[in-house]
Structure 1
């Protein structure tokens, strides 16, 4: 609290004393740093400028949701740092276009297409498939990983199912289109098996370097299209391995000169033992417990680079290739050690070092890149720069699973980004990511997406309702309304929620908590609006607009709203939101008021046909144009511009609900009719006959038809006789009612 006090001496004017208010220190941005495995206060090295390097894709196939996991998450982090914390982020990303996977895939695609173009005859194709299945079957029998084994078994089964019909056709002497169709089916199903077999026989003969550049160029283009479709910001600078070979060669040479690299049989390796034994260096800072993990190290070296000869070239099994001597069938570049190509890890160090210098603020990548890729990057970069701080903050995004199962391209268990965008919008996918921590495992499943869809609907309805409130006519002075207790309370909650969102973002950009606070704020606004309407009082426009603008700003920062939307989600797709609304809403408002007037007259004059036309306009016509009318008894009709597909889906769901209601109603009517028929049949029976058919229960009856003895001839007890007498009297009453109905002619 501020203190203002004063003393008054004799003949002197009191001098006020003032002290500043005592406040709490604002929270600071902390990021989870994989180097320390803790949340560290984020302090850029150069004021507000942030240098950030992100490991990009290896472009040899379609981008999948695993890529989306990393690049949407980093896009969110980048936007928050830039637009919320107002840091000047310089974002650099690489594209790996020279790699063992690319070389192998390019060769195999080339050889398979050559094979297909030769149009092999059925007999030749069958012979080749049999030959290709032999090494494939050996590989299958040697595989111990259960997931990989299952994938290979499925592939083998698919080839067998396609091969058998072709063999039958050949034996039967089939020809023409029927035979050709079966040939094409087998070619397609056996593509992977044949490609592997062709590569093992002919791969070394592929010498045209353009073959190895065509594949990554195509898939890089597709990757950029996918990122744009996901509303992921492009990097400030993008680097490609193929364009940085001279810098990579120079980088490797300096590591050798500094004593941490050695040449062996035309390749250059990093000396991990010498580096780790140096007093000023540490190897495997990120995952020290993984040192010596030969499986991980071999995966890092690449499929084409793991062999007994290559292992013998190393001083230590943990050493990794900086530069690889090219074998026949691989692209190559000249260098001091003979023709070769870059190792996988060195590319990032050389490219990042060229652009960001000896130390960067942030390095990002997927969780699975920590070892050996990023640990090797750190080692070789610090060996080059002779420092111990190449990266200040390492950020790693969590894994992505598909409906609870491990996502793996090699296991053919993945969903492409294009396929995902066929099912859900880019905003919905982003909301799914925002509702999870960027560093936790995210399960891409129907449940995950349903949570995102519900969040989007909830926020969308709030924005539409606020827009409707803001469209109500009001003079200039009317925009400033007296605040009652409800407005004061809502405003207090508004600022509390904003503070909670800020704390969440300071806590390693916890978007999940931030979105939940935003959801809670909307819930409070909805309760406020409902209470105002119940009291027949108008909600405060300025306060609700302030909340809606804040939420819009936050969703823009998260990349969930495109830049051209002034308030809420844009309507009609990207680039059309506010302009479309501003253009058509006056006409829709006039139409709504005209319809309301017609409905009023139709109700007063009792003209149901006009009411039916009004309902058809609301339910059938306007949804096709992306317009929702909401009729509220005693209140003006609410007009909302909504995405057309959403409205059509709502209409279909509404029809399904109505159809289910109709079905239940008909079922209830049938049950009631059956019950009435059964009751009527029961009423028809005279009481003297009702027990006579129960011969399996009773053996003797009195003159009125009441049982006196059970089936074994024993006389009924008084209790049993009394119970049967009650049933008899009830039936007597029912039968009299039936006779009366028959006399009156009321039976149907």
Structure 2
């Protein structure tokens, strides 16, 4: 009543009633869209349970060193995972498997074991040659039957290498060379023929390898190496890691339920998935990801594995498109007991069983390399939906793009690959990550010199910006000096800052477009550099808070992408001697004192004209401090700027500077030499009397007048007026030069 009375009173006084408050109209925020291989389109990302995201990623098959193809997938997914977690705020449960039971592992483990046994028998050179010859016969037959041009080329290179290594040993035996020469040449042949001999030994003796530990040692070693490589690349470890060998009971139960649901059948101790029955059911369809690949027997056989493709195994299937859920183990293969007899898991079933056990009947994201779409992921989908009796086992399928090496297909089987360890010998983990960030995660990435040079230059561009900002922020001011008035230059930079942040957000919402993000960050840095240059020209101090805000934001975005490690707030970290040491904060006060002292000494040396002291100051700047990772930048009329930089970077800069100076000196010397030659040639020409100028050219002229001027050409034809006119100009010019020469001699010049 009181409120109503008050309103009536206002109305009585003639005041209009106030309209009810309403929230302001704003822009609709961007929604994250991800490219979903299931729909082959960018779809709005909607997790099944609020902000919680369940994610399964196909991990490595651990039988050899990890290569840049692995890096392509795992760095790409690491970036996506970090963006979802640290930028969009999702609670991500990331599960990854390690395949430690597989045809490739079994074959490689047997081959390594048999080859080591062979070496232990210390074959004599003659026996080695005989064995290599025997191993070459099946290899040559396989080579003749190989249609794939890339594989054929690789095999031809192997055959040539073996031939070239065998001939010197054969020659040494025939000519009775000393034992140490025979041993050296035998070792060269063993290295060249290792693959041939291993295949040959496995074909003959592989079935006799029965110790299961032989099949576990190899994957255990390479899994350890894989984790070391991922740590070196700053790839986050998974929240859950599953190994096939530890989930065999769950895999057996998974297969049994598929059989019970009517989508699997037993045949000669193996169990196969019935693709025809599954695809024919109303609720299911086979090969959702790549339906056009159904019937591709080459892809299907590669999915089954080298040890599982035979006429006998093919005859066990009801349809050529069916795939193994469980494989009856043959002699020379590891095995586990199950309702169908001793056997081992198929490749595809392991991911379904492990992911299903950890993440349940439906996950938000499933990730893997582009080449896994068919048959691996299509088979995973089919068997998982057959097990759970649903049609939505995976909501979003993300596939990382291929990696090529200098434009060529990368393949471990073709021996065309670069290991992660070798890549890290040439470039840092940050540089590799920046190279990946400069390309779309779902497109083909070419690992080449040009790609890496772009990443190196981008890193250098950002690092110089960070160093400049840090140097400005280190300038001491009192607390009130932190808050400077914003002029138009600050307003303009801030408008650019806001626009760039909005563009970055839009790019991340658009399928996590890191390439566009890096370009927006580049534009922001360029604008800030322009602002700093303008302030420097005006001899005005830049706004510290605004500058710090830009630097911290860029650092934060790089940290989101995993390109900045540790707790650094501004810029790339400078390594210390321990994990708890902030090197920059610790040493910079001392370096600043040293810089101030040097600046005072240089000022006195200039005033007192002591060049030796100035030279010592330059040596400190150019030679001593770079070895310690310190860069001093002298600016005329301004204080020296101190920057803490990676030592390797500074030494490389110093080497490049020396090379540039040497090149400049070489060009200067070359120019001086040319100038000297030109002056010598000019002097030689000046010495020639005009009446002798054309006499030496008897191949051009046959007759001359009394002054040595030509009148007829070499064929005796009288010169035309035009020809004579041109020659007269040359003659007159020579008269002038000769007079100058005579004057020079008269004045005591060169003779």
Q: Same fold (TM over 0.5)?
A: yes
* Distance in 1, Cα, partners of 2:508 & 2:266: 48
Most deviating of 258-267 and 167-176: 167-176
The alignment status of 1:395 with 2:398, answered yes or no, reads yes
Corresponding residue for 1:54? 57
Does structure 2 conserve the Cα–Cα contact (< 8 Å) formed by 1:122 and 1:166? yes
* Distance in 1, Cα, partners of 2:111 & 2:384: 34
Q: Superposed, which structure 2 residues align to 1:528-607 within 5 Å?
A: 528-572=531-575, 579-607=582-610
* Distance in 2, Cα, partners of 1:573 & 1:269: 56
Cα 1:671/1:278, change in 2 over 3 Å? same
The alignment status of 1:224 with 2:227, answered yes or no, reads yes
Corresponding residue for 1:508? 511
Q: Secondary structure at 1:341's aligned position in 2? A: strand
Corresponding residue for 1:4? none
Corresponding residue for 1:406? 409
Q: Superposed, which structure 2 residues align to 1:435-584 within 5 Å?
A: 435-572=438-575, 579-584=582-587
Q: Secondary structure at 2:675's aligned position in 1? A: helix
Does structure 2 conserve the Cα–Cα contact (< 8 Å) formed by 1:572 and 1:642? no
Cα 1:722/1:174, change in 2 over 3 Å? closer
Q: Secondary structure at 2:213's aligned position in 1? A: helix
- The Cα of 1:588 is off from its aligned counterpart by 1.1
State the Cα deviation string for residues 155-192 of structure 1 (Å, max 9, x = none).
11111111111111111223421111111111111110
Unaligned ranges ≥5, structure 1: 1-6
Q: Secondary structure at 2:54's aligned position in 1? A: strand
State the Cα deviation string for residues 190-223 of structure 1 (Å, max 9, x = none).
1100110111111000000000000000000000
* Distance in 1, Cα, partners of 2:59 & 2:410: 18
- The Cα of 1:594 is off from its aligned counterpart by 1.6
* Distance in 1, Cα, partners of 2:185 & 2:701: 75
State the Cα deviation string for residues 300-347 of structure 1 (Å, max 9, x = none).
111111111111111111111111110000000010111000000010
Corresponding residue for 1:16? 18
Does structure 1 conserve the Cα–Cα contact (< 8 Å) formed by 2:440 and 2:513? yes
- The Cα of 1:574 is off from its aligned counterpart by 9.2
Most deviating of 559-568 and 698-707: 698-707
State the Cα deviation string for residues 513-553 of structure 1 (Å, max 9, x = none).
01110111001001111111111111111111100000000
Corresponding residue for 2:41? 38
- The Cα of 1:696 is off from its aligned counterpart by 3.7
Corresponding residue for 2:210? 207
The alignment status of 1:662 with 2:665, answered yes or no, reads yes
State the Cα deviation string for residues 59-89 of structure 1 (Å, max 9, x = none).
0000000000000000000000000000000
- The Cα of 1:735 is off from its aligned counterpart by 1.8
Does structure 2 conserve the Cα–Cα contact (< 8 Å) formed by 1:570 and 1:576? no
- The Cα of 1:473 is off from its aligned counterpart by 1.4
User: Between Structure 1 and Structure 2, how many residues are aligned?
Assistant: 742
Q: Which of 79, 83, 104 in structure 2 is aligned with 1:80?
A: 83
Unaligned ranges ≥5, structure 2: 1-8
The alignment status of 1:292 with 2:295, answered yes or no, reads yes
* Distance in 2, Cα, partners of 1:700 & 1:166: 76
Does structure 2 conserve the Cα–Cα contact (< 8 Å) formed by 1:562 and 1:574? no
Corresponding residue for 1:364? 367
The alignment status of 1:634 with 2:631, answered yes or no, reads no
Q: Secondary structure at 1:667's aligned position in 2? A: helix
Does structure 1 conserve the Cα–Cα contact (< 8 Å) formed by 2:270 and 2:326? yes
The alignment status of 1:430 with 2:433, answered yes or no, reads yes
* Distance in 1, Cα, partners of 2:724 & 2:176: 87
Q: Secondary structure at 1:150's aligned position in 2? A: helix
Cα 1:114/1:9, change in 2 over 3 Å? same
* Distance in 2, Cα, partners of 1:172 & 1:58: 47
Q: Which of 115, 120, 124 in structure 2 is aligned with 1:121?
A: 124
State the Cα deviation string for residues 592-612 of structure 1 (Å, max 9, x = none).
112122222222232222222
Corresponding residue for 2:319? 316
Q: Superposed, which structure 2 residues align to 1:92-241 within 5 Å?
A: 92-241=95-244
Does structure 1 conserve the Cα–Cα contact (< 8 Å) formed by 2:11 and 2:17? no
Does structure 2 conserve the Cα–Cα contact (< 8 Å) formed by 1:60 and 1:105? yes
* Distance in 1, Cα, partners of 2:549 & 2:585: 19
Does structure 2 conserve the Cα–Cα contact (< 8 Å) formed by 1:571 and 1:578? no
* Distance in 1, Cα, partners of 2:303 & 2:129: 36
* Distance in 2, Cα, partners of 1:230 & 1:437: 19
Q: Which of 248, 257, 261 in structure 1 is aligned with 2:260?
A: 257
Q: Secondary structure at 1:209's aligned position in 2? A: coil
TM-score, normalising length: structure 1 = 0.97
State the Cα deviation string for residues 218-249 of structure 1 (Å, max 9, x = none).
00000000000000000001000000000111
The alignment status of 1:302 with 2:305, answered yes or no, reads yes
Cα 1:582/1:318, change in 2 over 3 Å? same
* Distance in 1, Cα, partners of 2:275 & 2:676: 86
Q: Which of 226, 251, 272 in structure 2 is aligned with 1:269?
A: 272
TM-score, normalising length: structure 2 = 0.97
Cα 1:430/1:573, change in 2 over 3 Å? farther
Cα 1:725/1:274, change in 2 over 3 Å? closer
* Distance in 2, Cα, partners of 1:640 & 1:79: 30
* Distance in 1, Cα, partners of 2:742 & 2:337: 111
CA RMSD of aligned residues (A): 1.6
- The Cα of 1:126 is off from its aligned counterpart by 1.1
Corresponding residue for 1:620? 623
- The Cα of 1:739 is off from its aligned counterpart by 1.8
Q: Secondary structure at 2:562's aligned position in 1? A: coil
State the Cα deviation string for residues 655-699 of structure 1 (Å, max 9, x = none).
111111111111110100000001111111222332333334444
Cα 1:732/1:220, change in 2 over 3 Å? same
- The Cα of 1:722 is off from its aligned counterpart by 4.1
Corresponding residue for 1:691? 694
Q: Secondary structure at 2:446's aligned position in 1? A: strand
* Distance in 1, Cα, partners of 2:221 & 2:62: 8
State the Cα deviation string for residues 271-293 of structure 1 (Å, max 9, x = none).
11111111111111111111111
Cα 1:690/1:483, change in 2 over 3 Å? same
